[in-house]
């Protein structure tokens, strides 16, 4: 919805060609853009105001390095402060108590508590060789206990057998008794979703917490949450007491500003993030990754990881080296297209790339979508290996044959060839540029990685 | 949801719940507006603060700006009564929302009227299906449910419990079965039994996952094979706690599966679904109903003025 913050700030500073230290006036104008960017990312208003005040102070008088523009400099200050406020990255799930160690999951309806309980069980079993008991305290949502049982089975954990009519507090106490008796290391208590204005249910979960004294009370929240997240976190922290936050659905395309709000208002660390529906899709929180996304700079880490999952690394590195030397042939392009398709949706991928706001529009205008890419793949696979390695030999007759073979048209083949030509020129340039120093951190530049998207057709 | 089938008691029930939910949550924005104007004149600074207050209700930067500029341009007293400002804003918002407030009315000439229910994870799809089934049955229609969420653990069992609560038949398959195949079979059965309404539950999916969005398209295609007009309705379920990402959700789902209407859930909470205002402006999709609780009766028609008034704590 907004172009990357860096692009916006670029516009602000384009108007001021001055160099040197950042003046108060420059920074104030830039801060308006930062403010809008954070609000659009769903960071809560009071948190935005505090954030802006702090960054303003840091940025004024900051010397602008020669190699970067004032806009980039401000983005770096903003980004670094954001990372600092979101962090730390390495807050572990605390198991520091006499076994069985209770962990309590709390949050709104549908935030991902049960799934996260299953994911956490899997992680503790696999990485720490713990014996884990799952207990379902959700007697509200239909089939909630069955959901937990299935997830527990998948994770290799034991799930406490439900007793009809038993209430949450009773279930929690029984779970601990069973765990003590049967020598479990960890007991994960999954609770029903509840609204913070539901006083009765809030006090119910507070009672559970008081009774079992968990080593961790994890507030599970959705990365898509809006402005009210700050209120939700505050209420859960005040009424129940929270020791850590889990951010779910980080695999979506939300900017995730709620994370900053909740972190700021509770003071407790964000410990984990959910990046998919499968039980393996749980990661330690990474502030850099969420910060970049919040600022519209893209989730470069996420993109690289998804690339790494689908890409043959050696092959990719070889291609990247060739590309930077300007030896990027159609075989490489074909491989890239395959990888792009393997990584999923183009729109989603674009959202992950840094500074991509403008490019996204161009690509949309140019109609680059999954179908286009499928056509391009078909064109390339209708070529002979020799043609792929040396596109220069593609005369009119060969182009006609390829169009027929791939079920496309000669203009489409021509477009692809032109595009390949442009790409290889661009990559050659980038290869040269990449040798000059780039600002670390804030502007992750264009990575030398596979899956670089081809420019739009036409 | 045309409201005919509702008893008086139920109607007051949900109104009270909606109001109590929205009232508590509206305290924030209404209170903020009161604070802004109680001792201050209407000037650039207070208008800016008003804009902020609206942003804090998830209205988004653009809509908040436009609405507060509307206040700036209107001939209020120099020291306006905050209540007047709230009433003015509520009227403006109601005007924006009024064109999209449309009850969901099944076409009884379709046997069955097929409704595909979709949305991102955890928004309340399955629960809303249970509530819809109950309402339409109460209105005398025969309703069948299809458990096409074959992915999430115990999703089928969850829908089956709603089937028991409402007395509707639930068509289900084994976990991991092909969702489109299940939907196809359900439509076959519904046609054979001359069912009025077939509600198809689908797995939650994030709009940026193309493989899962394609699965949804496939469900659409196989339904159309039996009845070219099916699905007759595609409902997108939005969670009121969602922020600006709701725009991306509506945009992508609408593009991929031709959404015909929205239902906003969890409005009994402290979030008010303020994003709905800019969604209405941008997409103009009908808003059929709102979810105001976890129980079977907790679904109410979407009424623009009620929503706007509760949002700004205005007594109608
Ligand atoms: N307070 C409140 N809770 C609701 C409402 N609608 C649904 N819920 C709750 O939200 C949670 C998720 O609801 P589901 O119906 O399972 O959501 P879903 O979209 O089917 O979820 P997935 O299939 O897992 O993607 C459950 O705990 C519901 O009870 C509502 O209007 N208000
Ligand atoms: N894409 C994605 N979906 C998730 C994630 N965590 C949970 N979900 C989904 O969100 C929905 C609700 O999750 P659930 O654990 O039942 O939520 P609860 O009501 O809080 O217990 C389910 O469809 C889950 O599969 C995540 O990190 N990414
Ligand atoms: Mg649950
Ligand atoms: Mg469901």
Claim to verify: residue A257 and residue A331 sit in the same structural domain? no
- Mean of the per-residue pLDDT values of chain A: 82
Question: What is the Å distance from ligand 2's center to B209 Cα?
Answer: 15
Q: For residue A311, what pLDDT is reported?
A: 52
Residue A26: per-residue pLDDT? 75
Is residue A183 located within the same domain as residue A281? Answer: yes
Residues B140 and B212 in one domain: yes
- Residue B229 three-state SS: coil
The segment with the largest mean pLDDT, out of A73-82, A443-452, B35-44, B298-307, is B298-307
Residues A306 and A288 in one domain: no
> Do residues B296 and B160 both lie within one domain?
yes
Q: Quote the Cα angle for A42-A140-A215, to 5°.
A: 65
Residues B83, B212 within the same domain: no
Asked if A10 and A151 sit in the same domain, the reply is no
Choose from A226, A234, A248, A349 for mutation: most chain B CBs within 10 A. A226
Mean pLDDT within A155-170: 97
Contact predicate A190/A137, CB 8 Å: yes
pLDDT in tens, chain B (316 residues): 443 333 334 444 444 554 454 444 445 788 888 888 888 888 999 999 999 999 999 999 999 999 999 999 987 787 888 999 999 999 999 999 999 999 999 999 999 999 999 999 999 999 999 999 999 999 999 999 999 999 999 999 999 999 999 999 999 999 999 999 999 999 999 999 999 999 999 999 999 998 899 999 999 999 999 999 999 999 999 999 999 999 999 999 999 999 999 999 999 998 889 999 999 999 999 999 999 999 999 999 999 999 999 888 888 6
- pLDDT of residue A53 exceeding 50, the answer is yes
The answer to whether residue A94 is domain-embedded is: no
> What pLDDT sits at residue A458?
31
How far away, in angstroms, is A229 Cα from ligand 1 center?
17
**A250: nearest Cα among A293, A217, A288, A211:** A293
- Tell which of B66, B100, B134 closes a domain: B100
Helix (H) or strand (E) run with residue B144 in it:
strand B143-148
Q: Which long-range contacts (CB under 8 A, 24 or more apart) does A424-432 make?
A: A424/A323, A424/A326, A424/A327, A424/A328, A425/A326, A426/A455, A427/A323, A427/A324, A427/A326, A427/A328, A427/A452, A428/A323, A428/A324, A428/A325, A428/A326, A430/A324, A431/A323, A431/A324, A431/A325, A431/A326
Distance (Å) from the alpha carbon of B269 to chain A's nearest alpha carbon: 6
Contact B242 A224 (CB under 8 A): yes
Q: Is residue B108 part of a domain?
A: no
* Sequence-distant (≥ 6) Cβ neighbours of residue A61 within 8 angstroms: A21, A22
Of ligand 1's listed atoms, the one at least distance from the Cα of B299 is 31
Nearest ligand 2 atom, CA A250: 27
**Domain-embedded: residue B295:** yes
Q: Of A45, A254, A348, which has the smallest distance from its Cβ to B55's Cβ?
A: A45
Instruction: Give domain status of residue B241, yes or no.
Output: yes
CATH code of the domain covering residue A158:
3.40.50.300
B287 and B207 in a common domain: yes
Contacts of A112 in chain B (CB under 8 A): 121-122
CA separation for the pair B155, B175 (Å, rounded)? 9
Check B154 against A258: CB less than 8 A apart: no
Picking from B100, B131, B158, the residue at the C-terminal end of a domain is B100
Spatial separation of the C-alpha atoms in residues A245 and A233, rounded to whole Å: 9
On chain A, the residues whose CB falls within 8 A of the CB of B241 are 108, 222, 225-226, 228-229, 232
Residue given tokens 């792929």 in the structure block: A388
Tell me the residue range of the domain where A36 lies.
5-86
CATH number at residue B171: 3.40.50.300
Please indicate, yes or no, whether residues A413 and A288 belong to a single structural domain of this protein: no
Tens digit of each residue's pLDDT (9 = 90 or more) over A111-133: 999 999 999 999 999 999 999 99
Same domain, B119 and B54: no
Residue in the structure block whose two tokens are 């700021």:
A264
Do A242 and A315 have their domain in common? Answer: no
Q: Do A108 and A256 reside in the same domain of the chain? A: yes
A306: domain CATH number is 1.10.260.30
Query: How high is the pLDDT of residue A259?
Result: 94
Whether B85 and B171 share a structural domain: no
The residue of chain A nearest to residue B26, with distances taken between CA atoms, is A228
Atom of ligand 2 nearest to the CA of A282: 27
- Could you say which of A86, A110, A143 is where a domain stops? A86
Instruction: Report pLDDT for B291.
Output: 97
Q: Are A64 and A320 a contacting pair, CB within 8 Å?
A: no
Query: Could you give the percent of chain A with pLDDT greater than 70?
Result: 73
Which residues, including other chains, have CB under 8 Å from residue A302's CB and lie 6 or more apart? A250, A251, A275, A289, A293, A352
Q: Do A332 and A290 sit in the same domain of this protein?
A: no
Instruction: Give the range of the structural domain holding residue B282, as residue numbers without chain letter.
Output: 113-303
* Residue B95 domain flag: yes
Q: Given a cut of 90, is residue A375 above it in pLDDT? A: no
Q: Indicate whether A448 belongs to any domain.
A: no
Count how many domains chain A has: 3
Together in a domain, B90 and B126 = no
| A452 pLDDT tier (thresholds 50, 70, 90) | very low
Model pLDDT, residue B10: 42
Residues B165 and B247 in one domain: yes
Same domain, B191 and B94: no
Question: pLDDT tier at A332 (50, 70, 90 boundaries)?
Answer: confident
Instruction: Check whether residue B161 and residue B291 sit in a common domain.
Output: yes
Is B266 found in the same domain as B216?
A: yes
Separation CA A149–CA A165 (nearest Å)? 17
pTM, 2 dp: 0.81
What pLDDT, on the 0 to 100 scale, is given for residue A295?
Answer: 82
**Res A444 pLDDT > 70:** no
Residue B107 lies in a domain: no
Total structural domains within chain B: 2
Residues B92 and B130 in one domain: no
CB interface of B with A, residues 276-305, below 8 Å: 294
ipTM: 0.91
**Is A435 a residue whose pLDDT tops 60?**
no
Interface mutation target, options B20, B127, B238, B241, chain A, most CBs of A under 10 Å = B241
What pLDDT does B248 receive?
95
């Amino acid at each position: 919805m907004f172009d990357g913050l860096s692009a916006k700030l670029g516009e602000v500073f384009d108007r001021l060609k001055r160099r040197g230290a950042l003046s108060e006036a420059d920074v104030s104008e830039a801060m308006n853009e930062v403010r809008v960017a954070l609000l659009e990312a769903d960071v809560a208003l009071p948190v935005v105001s505090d954030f802006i005040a702090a960054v303003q102070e840091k940025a004024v008088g900051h010397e602008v390095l020669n190699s970067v523009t004032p806009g980039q400099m401000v983005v770096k200050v903003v980004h670094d402060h954001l990372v600092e406020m979101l962090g730390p990255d390495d807050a572990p799930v605390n198991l520091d108590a006499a076994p069985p160690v209770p962990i309590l999951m709390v949050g709104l309806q549908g935030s991902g508590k049960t799934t996260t309980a299953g994911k956490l069980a899997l992680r503790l079993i696999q990485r720490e060789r713990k014996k884990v008991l799952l207990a379902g305290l959700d007697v509200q949502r239909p089939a909630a206990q069955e959901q937990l049982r299935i997830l527990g089975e998948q994770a290799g954990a034991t799930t406490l057998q439900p007793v009809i009519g038993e209430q949450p507090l009773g279930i929690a106490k029984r779970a601990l008794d069973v765990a003590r008796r049967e020598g479990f290391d960890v007991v994960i208590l999954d609770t029903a979703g509840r609204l913070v204005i539901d006083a009765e249910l809030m006090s119910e979960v507070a009672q559970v917490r008081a009774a079992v004294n968990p080593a961790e009370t994890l507030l599970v929240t959705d990365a898509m949450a809006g402005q009210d997240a700050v209120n939700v976190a505050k209420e859960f922290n005040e009424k129940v007491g929270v020791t850590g936050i889990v951010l779910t659905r980080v695999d979506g395309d939300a900017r995730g500003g709620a994370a900053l709000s909740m972190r700021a208002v509770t003071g407790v660390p964000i410990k984990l993030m959910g990046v998919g529906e499968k039980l393996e899709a749980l990661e330690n929180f990474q502030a850099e990754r969420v910060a970049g996304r919040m600022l519209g700079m893209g989730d470069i880490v996420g993109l690289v990881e998804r690339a790494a999952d689908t890409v043959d690394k050696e092959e990719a590195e070889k291609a990247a080296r060739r590309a930077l030397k300007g030896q990027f042939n159609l075989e490489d392009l074909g491989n890239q297209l395959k990888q792009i398709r393997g990584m999923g949706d183009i729109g989603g991928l674009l959202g992950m790339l840094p500074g991509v706001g403008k490019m996204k529009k161009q690509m949309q205008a140019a109609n680059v979508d999954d179908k286009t890419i499928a056509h391009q793949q078909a064109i390339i696979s209708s070529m002979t290996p020799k043609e792929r390695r040396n596109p220069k030999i593609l005369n009119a007759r060969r182009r006609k044959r390829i169009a027929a073979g791939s079920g496309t048209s000669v203009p489409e083949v021509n477009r692809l060839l032109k595009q390949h030509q442009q790409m290889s020129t661009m990559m050659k340039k980038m290869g040269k540029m990449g040798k000059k120093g780039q600002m670390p951190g804030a502007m992750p530049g264009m990575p030398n990685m596979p899956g670089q998207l081809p420019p739009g057709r036409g | 949801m045309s409201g005919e089938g509702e008893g008086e008691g139920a109607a007051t029930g949900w109104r009270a719940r909606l109001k109590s939910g929205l009232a508590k949550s509206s305290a924030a924005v209404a209170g903020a507006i009161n604070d802004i104007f109680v001792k201050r004149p209407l000037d650039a600074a207070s208008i800016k603060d008003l804009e902020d207050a609206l942003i804090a209700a998830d209205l988004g930067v653009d809509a908040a700006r436009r609405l507060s500029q509307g206040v700036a341009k209107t001939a209020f007293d120099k020291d306006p009564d905050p209540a007047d400002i709230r009433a003015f804003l509520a009227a403006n918002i109601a005007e924006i929302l009024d064109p999209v407030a449309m009850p969901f009315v099944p076409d009884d000439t379709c046997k069955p009227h097929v409704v595909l229910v979709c949305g991102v994870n955890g928004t309340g799809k399955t629960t809303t299906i249970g509530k819809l089934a109950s309402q339409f049955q109460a209105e005398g229609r025969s309703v069948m449910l299809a458990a096409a969420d074959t992915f999430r653990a115990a999703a089928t069992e969850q829908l089956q419990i709603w089937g028991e609560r409402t007395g509707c038949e639930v068509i289900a398959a084994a976990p991991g079965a092909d969702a489109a195949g299940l939907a196809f079979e359900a439509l076959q059965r519904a046609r054979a039994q001359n069912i009025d309404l077939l509600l198809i539950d689908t797995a939650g999916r994030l709009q940026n996952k193309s493989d899962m969005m394609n699965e949804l398209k496939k469900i659409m295609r196989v339904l159309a094979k039996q009845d070219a007009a099916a699905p007759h309705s595609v409902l997108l379920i939005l969670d009121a706690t969602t922020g600006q990402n709701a725009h991306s959700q509506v945009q992508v789902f609408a593009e991929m599966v031709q959404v015909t209407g929205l239902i906003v859930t969890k409005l009994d909470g402290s979030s008010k679904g303020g994003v709905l205002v800019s969604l209405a402006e941008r997409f103009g999709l009908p808003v059929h109903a709102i979810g105001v609780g976890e129980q079977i009766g907790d679904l109410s028609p979407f009424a623009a003025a009620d929503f706007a008034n509760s949002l700004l704590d205005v007594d109608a």
